Chains A and B, each alone.
Chain A
Amino acid sequence: MTANDSTTTGQAAPGESDAVVMRGVSKWYGDFQVLTDIDLNVRRGERVVICGPSGSGKSTLIRCINRLEEHQQGDIIVDGVALTDDLRSVDRVRREVGMVFQQFNLFPHLTVLENCVLAPMRVRGASRRAAEEQALALLARVRIPEQAGKYPGQLSGGQQQRVAIARALCMNPRIMLFDEPTSALDPEMVKEVLDVMVELAGDGMTMLCVTHEMGFARRIADRVIFMDGGQIVEQADPEAFFTAPKHARTQAFLSQVLGER
């Protein structure tokens, strides 16, 4: 099913400023095409928000970036590494790309601190002391240092998601992927998570974020991408995107998500 490895090697020469390059990426689940000919360049330090109706392929798209999903056609180059069937390229990319999920996905059998130090110690080979020091600093940054000894099941959803962000940051990623990070949260907890993400954006982290939080998109995004039916329908800076969407499908989507506010 994967026919891309022979074609990538020759042309893996993205510009120095590109964090993610996708060229002609397509993906199928059986007969169903989830991604169609995606072209996307994300510059270093750029903050991209991806929105679209459910089933539009937006989650699949960002999951292709760290190869949680395999693409079947086209090239994906992340931080200068072309993603192929070669496991080493996948490992290299995953070390540099942090990801935050809708359902937090913390390890329930480990404390907050252990969740944070596991990958730095076992994947990067950091010492326990250095890893814990950094983890505690990052937990302070997401404003839950006092929860370090607790288990995920003892925390609220908002707290768990902030731990998940800290856990991803502990690997010192160059790129952060967010897959609907606030969709599973109670309304009163959305803000505490978005605040952390806004702060992160302010620090110049390269971010790709799938979200329905349009206020957040407007505030931090350099670019908003609208997907529908597995394609990028429209992309623009937030100002243009929200005030003057060009495509009819974008307009329909925006009136739906913004209409009720």
Chain B
Amino acid sequence: MASFLALMLEYWPQVLSGLGNTLLLAAVISVTGLAGGVVVFYLAISGGPLRRRLTEGYISFFIGTPLIVLLFLMYYGLPQWGLKLTPFTVAVIGFTLNVAAYNARYLMTAFRGLDPDELQAARAQGFSDLQVFQLVILPQVMRLSVPALTNQVILNLKDSSIAFLIQYAEFFAQMQDLAIRSFRFLDAYLVAGAVYLALVSVVVVAARWLERRYVLPGVRRAR
């Protein structure tokens, strides 16, 4: 192990840039995935039956399709039609479509727990549908979904390693490279696992903090 760590030090810039790429991709898709999820959620609950069916179809499709298929389709498939995208672009588009579907599903689940009378009361006060969404529905649904949404950020962080398979030079790709150079596969994957675990721990701590911060005084929940 010691000699592998020495090798990591030697290739430090490479390891560091991999780490940076992992964090960049995870951060970007967490933001775009959340924004996309909110948009899909809004479309799902605000329109007529047709729109509801379309958004439900979107969600089911992307939850039901392995992400790797989507990524390979865009990265290795689309060039056949002359459309060449960078690994990062493909990863961001693919993950965003996928993560948005999951996040929308979480938000819709929380939405079903809201009191419909409360939404009527909001309409009775003269708020437009968009205002009801913005001021009443979203703040509550987001609060209720903090555990699910932060869990998704953890998944994003770990799953970003899949982008390795479309030539995105993220952390796992660099570790794989070092493993091949040194033939120390066991060490390389143990270190990679430990690093992901450490990164996830930071997100977990942040998630706990968010959960505590958004507890509503006086609202009782099962524990």
Contact = CB atoms under 8 A, between A and B. Distances in A.
Contact of A109 (B121, B127, B131, B139): B139
A197 B96 CA distance: 52
Interface string A148-190: 0011111100000000000110010000000000000000000
Contacts, number: 72
B121 to A, nearest CB: 4
Contacts of B123: 68, 94
B219 A108 contact: yes
Given A99-B121, A107-B136, A122 B216 contact: no
B117 interface: yes
Contact of B122 (A66, A107, A150, A155): A107
A78 to B, nearest CB: 13
B120 interface: yes
A101 B125 contact: no
B126 A171 contact: yes
Contact of A99 (B124, B136, B139, B218): B124
Interface residues of A, number: 27
A105 interface: yes
A231 interface: no
A105 B121 contact: yes
Residue among B120, B122, B125, B135 facing the most chain A CB atoms (10 A cut-off): B125
Interface string B126-170: 111001000110011001000000000000000000000000000
Interface string B66-93: 0000000000000000000000000000
Residue among A119, A150, A167 facing the most chain B CB atoms (10 A cut-off): A119
A94 B118 CA distance: 15
Interface string A222-256: 00000000000000000000000000000000000
A153 B126 contact: no
Interface string A78-121: 00000000000001001101010101011111000000001100
A140 interface: no
Nearest to A152: B218
B217 interface: yes
- 5 nearest A-B residue pairs (beta carbon): A153-B218, A105-B121, A154-B218, A94-B126, A119-B125
Interface of B: 115, 117-118, 120-128, 131, 135-136, 139-140, 143, 216-220
Interface of A: 66, 68, 91, 94-95, 97, 99, 101, 103, 105-109, 118-119, 122-123, 150-155, 167-168, 171
17 contacts: A66-B124, A94-B125, A99-B121, A103-B115, A105-B115, A105-B118, A107-B140, A108-B218, A119-B125, A122-B131, A123-B126, A123-B127, A150-B217, A150-B218, A151-B216, A155-B218, A168-B125
